[in-house]
């Protein structure tokens, strides 16, 4: 059981680390902070509730079952963080948000204090690492402590379910998908963790033994519920960035033909290499290096080559923009060939500006790269020769 719990804690911790990554000198916003805190607290809840952790805490403190109020307090803190996260996610006037956050903190700090007091008043001499909830279900003070932490967690979870249902009707796209994941996780928490715990405790009150619900059913379902909630919180914030990285990788690969043709001219410094470099960073370096190479090839640009290629592309039925890109690709290929052969630049500079240098982003460079791979049939080059394939 400890292995399953630690695995869930590790996945939650990883999600928090990924979510908290930000550019240097970028500021923290309350929503990001509250999201990371909630996910980290969920991870700590699983770490604290693992039997191995409970045994270690009890041994280090010398107090039997000291890990119980620690775990219950952590669950209550996690419940509070969920409410705070929902407040920040919903937004509103700053004073109203601050007031609701302070109320939530005050309520759950008081709840944690009562849990600790009830544990001190109760008699928990026998160490129980797996079934404390049911073993002490009929013990004075400890019974109230168990019910309080469950009620506190239920209140936060039910509030989250209610708000997720309401907000999912008002939003669309990734935010709605995230809310539905949170709703699924919260519903699983209610049905898979809380109801099984309540059922096992009430069974003890009536003299029955349903401890298996508390010890075997509840923990894995709680782990899955927390993972679903964390995925719901992270999805609207991480997926756009992931998609941007995927697009950057696609553009990076699309620029390969152009980079292969002009890389010998570029004088841009090489970035630090490594597998950890994200596609966006790699794309930025390749884009800067290509622009540097195009600047170095500008003295070799031949307007006659471009004009002949432009006329040939128009005769082939290309649109105005397509003909321009094809003509620029032919002129660039000719310039790269003569620069590689160490020929002298043209005596009179062309002064022509490529479309890729007039637009922002990588779209113009990608078009130029694609034109190099698929040049129009019969495109003439300088000297009257006909190039049929990129070389």
pLDDT digits (tens, 9 = 90+) for 224-263: 888 888 788 778 777 888 888 899 999 999 999 999 999 8
Which ranges of 169-319 does DSSP label H, i.e. alpha helix?
173-188, 195-205, 211-212, 218-254, 256-262, 279-297, 303-315
In percent, the amount of the chain with pLDDT more than 90 equals 32
pLDDT at residue number 222: 84
CB atoms under 10 Å from CB of 192, counted, come to 21
- Which tops the pLDDT comparison, 84 or 383? 84
pLDDT digits (tens, 9 = 90+) for 167-225: 888 888 888 888 898 899 989 999 888 999 999 999 999 989 898 998 889 888 888 88
The single-letter DSSP state of residue 65 is T
What's the pLDDT tens digit per position in 93-150? Answer: 888 889 999 999 999 999 999 999 999 999 988 998 888 999 999 999 999 999 999 9
In this prediction, residue 384 carries a pLDDT of 40
User: Cα 54 to chain center, whole Å?
Assistant: 32
Statement: the pTM of the whole predicted model exceeds 0.75: no
C-alpha count within 13 angstroms, C-beta hemisphere, residue 333: 29
Q: Which residue has the higher pLDDT, 277 or 182?
A: 182
Q: Which domains does the chain have, with CATH numbers?
A: 2-241 (1.20.1070.10), 255-391 (no CATH)
Q: Please, which residues bridge with residue 386 across strands?
A: 380
Backbone φ and ψ for 388, nearest 5 degrees, come out as -105, -10
Q: How far apart are CA 67 and CA 371, in angstroms?
A: 67
CA distance 306 to 380: 9
Q: For 104-116, write each residue's pLDDT tens digit.
A: 999 999 999 999 9
Q: What is the pLDDT of residue 350?
A: 82
- Asked if the model's pLDDT at residue 321 lies above 70, the reply is yes
Direct distance between the N- and C-terminal alpha carbons of the chain, in angstroms, rounded to an integer: 62
Residues in the chain: 391
Residue 12 has pLDDT above 80, yes or no: no
Spatial separation of the C-alpha atoms in residues 337 and 360, rounded to whole Å: 27
Give the integer Cα–Cα distance in Å for 241 and 245: 6
Residue 323 contacts residue 313 (beta carbons within 8 Å): yes
Residues 6+ apart with CB under 8 A from 336: 261, 262, 265, 297, 300
């Amino acid at each position: 059981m400890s292995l399953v719990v630690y695995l869930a804690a590790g996945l939650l911790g990883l999600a928090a680390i990924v979510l908290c990554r930000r550019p240097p000198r970028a500021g923290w916003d309350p929503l990001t902070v509250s999201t990371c805190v909630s996910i980290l607290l969920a991870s700590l809840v699983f770490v604290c509730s693992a039997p191995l952790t409970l045994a270690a805490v009890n041994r280090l403190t010398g107090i039997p079952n000291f890990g119980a109020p620690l775990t219950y307090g952590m669950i209550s803190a996690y419940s509070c963080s969920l409410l705070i996260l929902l407040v920040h996610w919903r937004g509103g006037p700053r004073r109203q948000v601050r007031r609701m956050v302070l109320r939530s903190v005050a309520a759950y700090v008081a709840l944690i204090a009562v849990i600790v007091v009830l544990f001190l008043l109760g008699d928990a001499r026998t160490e129980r690492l797996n079934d404390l909830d049911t073993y002490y279900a009929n013990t004075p003070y400890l019974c109230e402590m168990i019910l309080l932490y469950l009620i506190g967690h239920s209140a936060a979870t039910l509030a989250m379910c209610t708000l997720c249902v309401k907000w999912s009707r008002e939003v669309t796209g990734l935010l709605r998908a995230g809310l539905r994941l949170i709703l699924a996780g919260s519903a699983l928490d209610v049905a898979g963790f809380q109801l099984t715990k309540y059922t096992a405790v009430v069974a003890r009150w009536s003299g029955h033994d349903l401890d298996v619900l508390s010890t075997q059913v509840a923990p894995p379902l709680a782990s899955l519920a927390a993972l679903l909630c964390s995925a719901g919180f992270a999805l609207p914030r991480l997926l756009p960035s992931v998609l941007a990285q995927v697009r950057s990788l696609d553009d990076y690969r699309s620029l390969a033909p152009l980079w292969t043709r002009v890389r010998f001219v570029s004088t841009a410094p090489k970035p630090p290499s490594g597998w950890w470099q994200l596609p966006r960073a790699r794309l930025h370096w390749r884009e800067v290096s290509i622009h540097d190479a195009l600047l170095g090839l500008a003295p070799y640009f031949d307007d006659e080559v471009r004009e002949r290629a432009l006329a040939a592309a128009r005769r082939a039925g290309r649109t105005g923009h397509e003909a321009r890109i094809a003509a620029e690709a032919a002129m660039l290929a000719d310039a790269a060939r003569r620069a590689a052969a160490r020929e002298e630049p043209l005596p009179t500079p062309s002064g022509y500006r490529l479309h890729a240098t007039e637009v922002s982003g990588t779209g113009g460079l990608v078009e130029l790269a694609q034109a190099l791979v698929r040049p129009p049939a019969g495109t003439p080059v300088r000297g009257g020769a006909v190039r049929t394939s990129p070389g």
